[in-house]
Amino acid sequence: MRAVVLHQPGQAENLKIEERPIPKPMENEVLIRVRAFGLNRSELMTRKGLSPSVKFPRVLGIECVGEVVEDPSGHYPKGQKVMALMGEMGRAYDGSYAEFTVVPRHIVN
């Protein structure tokens, strides 16, 4: 899959499109095919290096809409349209600037 990866904070040129494996969801996680994501001030601050808790490299993105590809719990059926936001998405774990993302089930609606 393609993902926009930030290896170190700085200018917008530090955001690089890379090929990465599609992540695998674990228990209490959902794999989402990202169809759209937002660009917001929080990600701008992280890109500039103003989010000291964020470890790099990181795929930014604190929100997305898309379709469920896999939910090991069975709560969301494959193809279900969903949104996910916040919950440390794009900060503590990779976010939505990618074709696919894995997020905790509790942030999916």
Over residues 30-74, the pLDDT tens digits come to 999 999 999 999 999 999 999 999 999 999 999 999 999 999 999
Give the single-character DSSP code of 42: H
CA triplet 90, 26, 69: central angle to 5 degrees?
Answer: 75
Domain ranges of the chain: 2-107
Say what the pLDDT of residue 4 is: 98
Question: Yes or no: is domain 2-107 CATH 3.30.70.260?
Answer: no
**Cα separation of 81 and 68, whole Å?**
7
What pTM was estimated for this model as a whole?
0.95
Tell me what pLDDT residue 39 has.
Answer: 92
Q: What is the DSSP letter of 16?
A: E
Structure tokens of 100? Answer: 């696919």
pLDDT at 16: 98
Q: In this predicted structure, what is the pLDDT of residue 52?
A: 94
Q: Which residues contact 44 (CB under 8 A, 6 or more apart)?
A: none
Tokens of 38: 């937002």
